[in-house]
Chains A and B, each alone.
Chain A
Amino acid sequence: MQVMRFASPGFVMQTPTTAPPRLHLQGITKRYPAVLANDRIDLKVDEGEIHALLGENGAGKSTLMKIVYGVVRPDAGSIEWEGTPVNIDSPAMARRLGIGMVFQHFSLFETLTVAENIALSIEPRVKPSVLAPRIRQISESYGLPVDPQRLVHSMSVGERQRVEIVRCLLQSPRLLIMDEPTSVLTPQAVAMLFETLRRLAAEKVSILYISHKLDEVRALCDSATVLRGGRVSGSAIPRNETNESLARMMVGADLQECRLTPRAAGEVRLELKSLTQASPDPFGTSLHQVDLAVRSGEIVGIAGVSGNGQKELLAAISGETRCTQADAIRIGDRSAGALDPAQRRQLGLSFVPEERLGRGAVPDLSLSDNALLTAYGAGMVGNGFIRGAACREFARETIRQFDVRCGSEQSVAKSLSGGNLQKFIVGREIRLAPRVMVVAQPTWGVDIGASQLIHQALIDLRDQGVAVLVISEELDELYAICDRMAVLAGGRLSPVRPTAELPVEQVGVLMTGATHAAA
């Protein structure tokens, strides 16, 4: 490494026999105006170690990683890299040290090829054509098949993640940071990723693995540091722990499992009949012959990796895209294909979209105004004028019932954490007394406590006889709360089967679209 040139012998305190830790953080503190994101955090990652960083959303994981990657500067504390104090002031500097990071949200240009994308971000500058053979070689040797000539927009999310990983590997990193890497992968792809990571670790690459999935951490990681509320709340050897004990460290309290008591489903409330619809987005996925019936008093889950038609299916159900045949969608006993979202709401459809900020809620408006957004039918408008008191009352009651942590009903939506905003949106939609409830990614980016509450609320809704449809990438979640399940892959929906009769392996196969060879 270049760094070593500047490290005079005086700096190296360690004896030559034991290698210094690859990364050693001491007393890292970062204060944002509203919150102490990192409070005197210590973290040590050894050579070739897979180290998990566990914590709920808002625990300070992302801030800490941004500090290590040079995106954010700490207010206090020190960073030692292989025994040498360093001041990482930019991602470029981090990369020069040998730190690579695979972000949760990818930063690839869709209209460029893989090689072009990679050439843009690595130093020294190389032509994409020169890079291509190296990409091919690296990707093959690590079992990450990637074609350097392919355009990114044609690639699945899992493939894009491979590109990001290969991009890091090209720089021969000594520390690889992976932020929630499996949230977009099928179970099979997760297994492949783990193999790659274990191989890298065997080659003495250190890996910092950020996740909230406890099973994965226990399967993969050598050690774990748990953050809670910006502080280190514990460290553990994941193998020796149970999910419960790790969760307790993350949340600071015991968790109850939700229970799904068997119950006979009633009449069909939401029905899709061979719904076929071309996506308006040129990079979207068109829906082919989707058949689905959701009955009163059941939760139906739709599994699958995002980008397989989820967005299109949701828009078709909510009415944001209208259907060519009115009969393809029925809500209750009405043909709803031609109705707009407001009309479908009048038929008793409630809807929680995947994007919370900007779709489910208006970021810059208060919770009170965000109650008005969809609950306007609940006595909040009279003679065309807004009844402010009614909006505030509805918002306050939602906040109270669903334990939304916020300043007041006047707080703007974007000031809430993801979990709290989701509780507010779910609560708002539930309080509209729906006959059909559709929820997309109910707990995406939501902390464990809030997930629990949302799951329970959906189960309660089911027990009251509401027809509930949940679309999610999290298989654990679907298995926990669904009566029946199907998989959406390539715009086609597999037959809906009782959850108990659908093993995970089969879901994994279905997610790859294997049974839909025609797609």
Chain B
Amino acid sequence: MPLLERVWPFQLERRPVPSRAMQFASPLIAAVAMLVTGFILFSALGKNPVAAFNVFFIEPVANAYGLGELLLKSTPLMLCAVGLTLGFRANVWNIGAEGQLIVGAIAGGGVALFAPALGVFTLPAMLLAGILGGMLWAAIAAWLRTQFHTSEILVTLMLVYIAKLGLSYLVHGPWRDPAGFNFPQSKSFDDSQILPLLFEGSRVNIAFIIAIALAVAAAIFVSRSFAGFRMRVAGLAPAAAAYAGYSDKRNIWLALLISGGCAGLAGISEVAGPIGMLSADISPGYGFAAIIVAFVGRLHPLGVILSSLLMSLLYLGGESAQIELQLPSSVTGLFQGVLLFYLLAADLFINFRLRKVKALVVPAATDPSATMNVKSTANAS
């Protein structure tokens, strides 16, 4: 036996069928491993880990307001991640939900700032503009991919930075509020342009309900509709999709338009919600965090509901850790990254398992140590 197997007498073996139990357990294992890592990290930073955990994971949601914040922050994550989930399942890798989110905010915010009074249609028009804005941004990637085989991963990612700079230009320049003391922000939206709140005393608004409804609708689309089936086939086996005559272009367009539209909706919901205006930084990276949310949610729209709540908690915890523990804001990103890292590692065990390497039944086996030196040639016994 090689030396490695003496120290670590296990080997990975492919499971005959992927483990369903592991499919559900994997995100939990990843979350627990993330917590353990956090424990070690807090200890290393000289913080009392128990107190730090309390600050990070318990305190932010210990009261009604905190719970409202949890739902509020989960909303853009959920919206983006539901869209991404559909795209990822179809093998279309939209990495730039952040950019589509920003363009959605610009488009919807533009309607709020410049469109004539629309009465009760004001908010629907803003939301629609947000969705279309996100779709437009994603459509660029879809067009380049279908026309020139350009990688949508790179294009969507690069478009994020263009969107960011575009927003920055608008709020520093033409769209800046003249009465805003030169802050890079637009004038505040008026009450008819703000999404209605769900509860008095919290900031969570109707967009949360829209996000849940969208997740449920997406779940039905994925499991029951023929269009959802075609997208799934395109993701699982592109050659089979081509063979069956499912259009590759339609798949790409559909995946990017859906995920772009969802991200655009997230963008307008943020500026027409808790932010209430356009400003230079409207998203702390929701569009990127949504990629992790989608994977932690097992690329299933209903799983995304749970994982977006978890990710939201990481954002809240990161904020309170900054305030109470004087930790840098990057601790949030660190936890996000660690979570994804462990998730990918744990996912290995969906298709594989560890198996103890058995010693061979060889007749008249002698003392293994006596044959140590011949291991590499012949394991004579």
Contacts and interface: CB of A to CB of B under 8 A. Distances in A.
B240 A384 contact: no
Interface in B175-234: 224-227, 229, 232-233
B237 A359 contact: yes
A323 to B, nearest CB: 15
A203 interface: no
Contact of A84 (B237, B242, B247, B378): B378
Nearest to B1: A89
Interface stretch (A43-51, A176-184, A262-270, A363-371): A363-371
B225 A384 contact: yes
Of B225, B237, B361, which is in contact with the most chain A CB atoms at under 10 Å from its CB? B237
Contacts of A362: 233, 236-237, 240
Given A7-B380, A33-B15, A360 B243 contact: yes
B62 interface: no
A345 B245 contact: yes
Nearest to A29: B361
Nearest to B13: A33
A342 B360 contact: no
Contacts of A77: 361
Nearest to B361: A76
A273 to B, nearest CB: 23
Interface string B332-361: 000000000000000000000000011011
B116 interface: no
B381 A2 contact: no
B174 interface: no
A320 B242 contact: yes
A93 B377 contact: yes
Contacts of B15: 33
Interface in A396-422: 412, 415
Contacts of B17: 412, 415
Nearest to A412: B17
A358 interface: yes
Interface residues of A, number: 56
A319 B378 contact: no
Nearest to A88: B379
B326 interface: no
B117 interface: no
26 contacts: A3-B378, A33-B15, A33-B16, A75-B358, A78-B362, A85-B364, A89-B2, A93-B378, A340-B245, A340-B247, A341-B243, A343-B245, A351-B243, A353-B243, A358-B240, A359-B242, A362-B237, A362-B240, A363-B236, A365-B232, A372-B226, A373-B240, A386-B224, A386-B226, A386-B229, A415-B17
Interface of B: 1-2, 15-17, 224-227, 229, 232-233, 236-237, 239-240, 242-247, 357-358, 360-364, 374, 376-381
Interface of A: 2-3, 5-7, 11, 32-34, 73-78, 81, 84-87, 89-90, 93, 96-97, 318-320, 340-345, 351, 353, 355, 358-365, 369, 372-374, 376, 381, 384-386, 412, 415
